Amino acid sequence: MAGERSKTPPDEVNILEFCGDLVFALEHDPNIEHAIAFASKHLDSDSRLWIEKHLAEDVFTERSLSLNFIGKLRRKELVSVFQLLERAANKRGLDERKILLDRALENLLSSIRKEINSFYEKVKLPNLIIFGIGILVPLALVLLFPTFSFLGGRFTLLQAGIVYCVVLPAFVFFITNKIDQERPRCIAPPPVPLKFNPTYVSIPIFSCILVVISIFQLGDSAWLPAIWILVFSTSLLLLIVGIGPFKLRIKVEQVEEEFPDFLLEMGMSIEEGKPLEKAIADYEKKNKTPLTSVLRKIERNIQFEGTGIIDTVMSEDFKREIPSRTVHSGMILLVSAAEKGRRSAAGTIIRISNHLRKILELKKEIKDKMSDILTTARALAIFFAPILTAFTARTYEVITSKQNGFFQASFSKISLATVLCVYTLILSVLLVDYSVRLEYGKDAPLRCVNIAIAMLTALIVFTAGWIAGGLFFGFLLGY
């Protein structure tokens, strides 16, 4: 079954880190087959099987790895990168190989930067459409309800619920999902899994019981407390599931940011003649950072359990402690390079450090650029949409109360407020999830925590807007 799945090229290969690992591996060992095997170790099983299958075909038939492999991977823009890597692997001279590897990395970064800039320009118009669907259309519809009734039509609560809670969110979901599918698959989040305990199911069950009780006790006025109970319990569940992995996710980012400096210091220490174990111990004593807490465990394993560095780095415990492809690859190459002669090991490690720093700088540049275009979506989700829909609901309430029998309202003010509140919550979930997916990829912990916070914030803003709107219209109109 796995063999059958491996016939399809992987769409979710993290090209930036995959090609970065190829450069790192070729710095250590000028063998393109070994480098691809090393770089594919951190991929998911289907992607790894696909790459290993076509790698074996190319080696057996002696075809060009660069043209054939990249052609199958559907990334034609990376042909020049693979050609340079292949040429570097065939060069005997160290200086020539370094020049080719530097050019390959620069071409890779330039290609990805160009792809991101093109995508950045492409999503500006869809973001405006999302703004129109999210704010302008709902506002216009509410103001048209009394006019529609005056003309003899009848817009029921069911129809309003379908439009606001099904049709409009479906349009937003379709547009955001289409944009996400076009997002360049050049970076991916660390593989931090969520941990779900079956006992967590008690939270939504208990909240549903509270909602039923509140409806029986309060009647029509229970709409806002009922929504508060449901939203609070859902947010609590998401936070319980996601907060632990989210903290680990933040730790991984901090460790990755520090890692190039760590490699640079290791290279300089090895150049001075220090053993790797001593260099790691000295770094751990001088610094108090998230990375040093990981290094402390490595040092403890070496001292008290007699485990070698490479065994510790490749252990499942270490992978669970820091689920980072960057750190795992870097540590393996660090240990492997340290086994060489002092001068060659130091040079290899320092060059890998410089390459990694450039890759991390591009990652930060991509996130900053995505953040620029997503600021509007986030603000729309948690502030503008809730406050405007709350005031819109109050506007409808004022219009229907001042009609003096001129036309008949289609449904009660409480019913419309409930529909608009639910719509606001759905919109906040869709837009915040869209923002996270576009900026970070399919990052489950980040999505859980951000959605939980967005739902609570949107409900707080809607409630405040509902109260403020009532006071505002009451002051102006004596309502």
Q: Are residues 112 and 140 in the same domain?
A: no
Structure confidence at residue 453 as a pLDDT band (50, 70, 90): very high
pTM over 0.75: yes
The percent of residues in the chain predicted with pLDDT above 90, rounded, is: 5
| Helix 65-73 / helix 45-61 crossing angle, nearest 10 deg | 150
Lowest mean pLDDT among 217-231, 236-250, 426-440, 443-457: 217-231
Q: Are residues 171 and 152 in the same domain?
A: yes
Distances in Å between the Cα of 132 and the Cα atoms of 139, 195, 437 are 10, 37, 21
Domain assignment present for 326:
no
pLDDT per residue as tens digits for the range 374-389: 777 778 788 888 888 8
User: Using an 8 Å Cβ cutoff, are 204 and 238 in contact?
Assistant: no
∠ at Cα 446 (163, 449), nearest 5°? 70
Nearest-angstrom CA–CA distance, 53 and 63 = 14
Q: Are residues 65 and 100 in the same domain?
A: yes
pLDDT of residue 1: 37
Q: Are residues 93 and 142 in the same domain?
A: no
Q: Are residues 19 and 84 in the same domain?
A: yes
Q: Does 50 have pLDDT greater than 70?
A: no
| Residue carrying structure tokens 């933040």 | 250
Q: Are residues 101 and 179 in the same domain?
A: no
Q: Does 173 have pLDDT greater than 80?
A: yes
> In the numeric block, which tokens belong to residue 142?
């509410």
pLDDT of residue 60: 44
Distances in Å between the Cα of 271 and the Cα atoms of 265, 266, 308, 454 are 10, 8, 21, 50
User: Using an 8 Å Cβ cutoff, are 122 and 196 in contact?
Assistant: no
Nearest-angstrom CA–CA distance, 84 and 65 = 11
DSSP, residue by residue, 203-226: HHHHHHHHHHHHHHHHGGGGHHHH
Query: Which burial class, exposed, middle or buried, applies to 128 when counting CB atoms under 10 A from its CB (0-12, 13-18, 19+)?
Result: exposed
Domain assignment present for 168:
yes
pLDDT of residue 8: 45
Q: Are residues 416 and 436 in the same domain?
A: yes
Domain count, the chain: 2
pLDDT per residue as tens digits for the range 321-363: 788 888 888 888 888 887 776 667 788 888 889 988 998 888 8
Of residues 259 and 63, the one with the higher pLDDT is 259
Of residues 145 and 140, the one with the higher pLDDT is 140
Mean model confidence pLDDT for the chain: 78
pLDDT per residue as tens digits for the range 111-121: 888 888 888 88
Lowest mean pLDDT among 189-203, 245-259, 279-293, 422-436: 189-203
Domain assignment present for 225:
no
* Number of C-beta neighbours around residue 397 at 10 A: 21
Domain assignment present for 141:
yes
Give which of 17, 85, 74, 26 is closest to 50, Cα–Cα.
74
pLDDT of residue 385: 83
| Structural domain boundaries enclosing 74 | 2-119
Q: Are residues 374 and 439 in the same domain?
A: yes
Domain assignment present for 15:
yes
Distinct helix (H) and strand (E) counts, the chain:
22, 0
Which of residues 64, 93, 119 is at a domain's end?
119
CA 262 vs. chain centroid, Å, equals: 26
Of residues 202 and 98, the one with the higher pLDDT is 98
pLDDT per residue as tens digits for the range 141-169: 776 766 666 665 666 778 788 888 888 89
pLDDT of residue 310: 72
Q: Are residues 15 and 105 in the same domain?
A: yes
Q: Are residues 57 and 158 in the same domain?
A: no
Residue 444's contacts (CB-CB under 8 Å, 6 or more residues apart) are 192, 193, 194, 242, 245
Of residues 198 and 176, the one with the higher pLDDT is 176
Domain assignment present for 453:
yes
Of residues 235 and 224, the one with the higher pLDDT is 235
Of residues 206 and 6, the one with the higher pLDDT is 206
Which of residues 85, 119, 153 is at a domain's end?
119
pLDDT of residue 452: 92
Structure confidence at residue 3 as a pLDDT band (50, 70, 90): very low
User: Using an 8 Å Cβ cutoff, are 47 and 40 in contact?
Assistant: yes
Domain assignment present for 218:
no
pLDDT of residue 4: 41
Q: Are residues 9 and 98 in the same domain?
A: yes
pLDDT of residue 241: 87
Structure confidence at residue 137 as a pLDDT band (50, 70, 90): confident
pLDDT per residue as tens digits for the range 436-451: 888 888 888 999 999 9
Q: How many CA atoms lie within 13 A of 346 on its CB side?
A: 14
| Residue carrying structure tokens 């129109």 | 132
Give which of 282, 309, 284 is closest to 294, Cα–Cα.
284
Q: Are residues 17 and 115 in the same domain?
A: yes
Domain assignment present for 379:
yes
Nearest-angstrom CA–CA distance, 379 and 139 = 17
Most confident listed range (36-40, 65-69, 354-358) = 354-358
Q: Does 9 have pLDDT greater than 60?
A: no
